[in-house]
Structure 1
């Protein structure tokens, strides 16, 4: 393993650690939830592959909002069955592709509504989905600027 690979791995891991620690801490001590499991996967893209089109703010924020909104709509309007959970994921993927906001971790968002023991409300779309995704992008922007990396990729905004 060369020094550049090790440095990249350590910076990526540190960025993900700090982002999740900050969101979890703010959630614990604040009034609103700012974290959900798919954000861990978002951190892989934001900190390990910040130049990738799937890591750009439009994709992170838009992908999470679109897929979570569709998950909520399906959960609210359809029976809680494997068929409708799968359909919600499929429609969310198609919607992200059509809107050019594809963000793979957001593909899990519809499942959050179908798999939680306690029903999620429409507020879930605001917190943690929107507020958490926006904060993740802001944290990644600040982190990359501090560590000498340009993010977001200006040609991909």
Structure 2
């Protein structure tokens, strides 16, 4: 019973209500801004994995995985790996697995791990994307989110966790 109980007990600490509201508003604002910019400009500045990035960034802003270098570097590296590999390999289940593993290994080895960026091989292969995708939405979207995170952390600091 004890082992089973541990499986279903949240390991994450409870966030104070004020922090929960503030971080939720930040996620909503960031996603709305990127989506709105995309709609107004006619250029894609948003991709689904940036939603997960916003959750990490605005709920766990001090986490190593939420730092600007990890966000921008992780996305650029993972997308580059995917575009390069899919330039030479067919878009198959095994090449997708290889690209995702290579991206994770390189992000970790270069100390710029950002888990949502590991979705880039999937987005590149399913969308048939090429080098243009690296600039927009990847670089622009990741940079906008990272800058918003810097502003958020400057204003809010660690107060969302009641510290």
Bin of the TM-score, shorter chain as denominator length? 0.7 to 0.9
TM superposition score normalised by structure 1:
0.87
1:84 to 66, 84, 95: 95
DSSP 3-state at the match of 2:16: helix
The number of equivalent residue pairs is: 145
Provide structure 1 residue ranges, at least 5 long, that are not aligned to the other structure. 151-157
CA offsets per residue over residues 6-55 of structure 1, 9 Å max, x none?
11111111111100100010011114211001100101111000000110
Q: 5 Å matches for 1:1-157?
A: 5-116=16-127, 119-146=128-155, 148-149=156-157
TM superposition score normalised by structure 2:
0.84
Question: Which has the higher Rg, Structure 1 or Structure 2?
Answer: 2
CA offsets per residue over residues 79-99 of structure 1, 9 Å max, x none?
010000000000000000111
CA RMSD of aligned residues (A): 1.5
Q: CA deviation at 1:144?
A: 3.3
Q: What is the alpha-carbon distance in structure 1 between the residues aligned to residue 113 and residue 37 of structure 2?
A: 27
- Conservation of the 8 A alpha-carbon contact between 1:19 and 1:140: no
